[in-house]
A and B are shown apart, each in its own frame.
Chain A
Amino acid sequence: MSKVTILKLGVYNRGSIFNWLWRNGCQPVEECGASIKLDDVQNLIIPGVSTFEKLQSAFQNLDVELFREKVSAGELRVIAICAGMQFLFESSEESPGAKGLGLLKGHISKLQPDSHQSVKSVNIGWRETHINTAQFNHADPVHSFYYCHKYGLANVELDDVIVGKSVFAGVEFASIVKWKALLGVQFHPEISGFAADKILQHFDG
């Protein structure tokens, strides 16, 4: 049973994340940024029902350089969900002035509907996701996951870091990002059906 540390974010979908991990035989432990000892953590989840600003507060007391070293060396395996994934980048329109981890280059913005479409400004629901299966181990090149977000990394092409993308309001946005031992997903794997449980295999290395 692998131990998985969840970064505590104050109010977030704690029960849903715990239930997901329990269902998959993991042993979840919740810790706030100040008390996480990076030397003792192998598997970390950055949850996503949150905001960029709240993530900044949660990471305030965490040694970001050590975090980067551990991820680079493969000693710390991370799954970052939704707003958690967005926080891997540098900044976000959601919280002007707030600084993200900057482990990945890019600015998170509102997914602006293009003018010809009468769509809403929040992307909620099951959406087809196109996966670069050469870079990300997944059986299907197209798979539906459940999304619930307003912001994202817009106008992307698949490469060796952006390994999955989806489209909302005519804007292609990053839905799976991968760098070293870091995996970020814009969708919510904890509520995307049992098929999405495979995301947890990331912790197996």
Chain B
Amino acid sequence: MPNKAAPLRVIARLDTKNGRLIKPVRFEGVRQIDNLMERVESYVLGGIDELAIFDVVSSLYNTPTELEVVGEISKAFSICIAAGGGVSSINDAEKLLRFGADKILINTSAVKNKDLIRSISREIGTQSTAVSIQAKKSELLGFEVMVEAGRQQTGMAVCDWMSEIQDLGAGEIIMTSVDSDGVNAGLDSQLISYLSHCQVDRPLILGGGFSPLSHVGLPRVIDGLLVGSFFHLKGGLSEDVRASVSYV
């Protein structure tokens, strides 16, 4: 039986606010995108592997996560949904799973309360517990872990935090470059180079700034790409994403 290398996973990123799809720029400025369900349908038909739904606002203001969006998509499509945004307890995770999420994304709360990763992975298994990391270039640390939608520093180097969360029970890591997010100017090449030197034993997904205009060589440590703006604003297809990267 052939043991082919796994193909690059392409994950469409959806950011929601009050049940609407939005597109943050560098985690801050926001553009509103209409026709959520039509868009999701085009992404699914266009060959994405999975969906990741973030609710930036709930993480900042602790408002309820956009459960309805998760529910609507889960009812209509047969595709894996990872969902997060303000998940700070097993109850928050349970709500997302009750509406239709298959995996839980934890970000800010994992930094504040490391035990959260452990307690969620004990309930739903390591494989379904994903931790998202907002990475920002730092003179001192190489790349630093940021929280609160990329606004607050933590003083932790990205490589060190990845080792720690793997031990705590993270089954997957979703990495986004704060500097490249939403600007469509290409993936963060410095972050890619930095990540290639980290010890990572879990699937690692990279997001922030994907553009088909710049061909990128990816190290094998990266298993997939998280793509937002290119899909929302340019109507791109998954095959365009796969065609513009190659493993080196």
Interface residues of chain A, those whose CB is within 8 Å of chain B, are: 10-16, 19-20, 22-23, 49-51, 54, 83, 118-122, 124-128, 130, 146, 148-150, 165, 167, 170, 172, 188, 190-194, 196-197
Interface string of B161-203 (1 = CB under 8 A from A): 0000000000110000000000000000000000000001111
Shortest Cβ distance from residue B125 to the other chain A in the assembled complex, whole angstroms: 5
Among B1, B75, B102: residue with most chain A CB under 10 A: B102
Shortest Cβ distance from residue A80 to the other chain B in the assembled complex, whole angstroms: 15
Q: Which residues in chain B, 65-86, are within 8 Å of chain A measured between CB atoms?
A: 70-71, 74-75, 78-81
Given A11-B90, A150-B171, A170-B3, residue A118 in contact with residue B220 (CB < 8 A): yes
Docked complex Cα distance between A150 and B126 (Å): 8
B123 at the interface (CB under 8 A from A): yes
Q: Is the CB of B125 within 8 A of A19?
A: no
B122 closest partner in A (C-beta): A51
Shortest Cβ distance from residue A33 to the other chain B in the assembled complex, whole angstroms: 17
Interface string of B216-243 (1 = CB under 8 A from A): 0000110110000000000000000000
Docked complex Cα distance between A170 and B4 (Å): 9
B34-42, B92-100, B107-115 - the one binding chain A: B92-100
Neighbour of B75 across the interface among A12, A19, A125, A192, CB < 8 A: A19
A19-B100, A194-B78 given; name 11 further pairs at CB < 8 Å.
A10-B123, A16-B74, A20-B78, A120-B200, A122-B203, A146-B50, A146-B79, A188-B80, A188-B102, A192-B78, A197-B78
B6 at the interface (CB under 8 A from A): yes
Docked complex Cα distance between A130 and B2 (Å): 11
Q: Is the CB of B1 within 8 A of A165?
A: yes
Q: Is the CB of A15 within 8 A of B101?
A: yes
Neighbour of A146 across the interface among B1, B80, B100, B201, CB < 8 A: B80
Residues of B within 8 A of A16 (CB): 74, 81, 97, 100-102
Residues of A within 8 A of B103 (CB): 49, 148
Among B203, B204, B220, B221: residue with most chain A CB under 10 A: B203
Q: Is the CB of B6 within 8 A of A148?
A: no
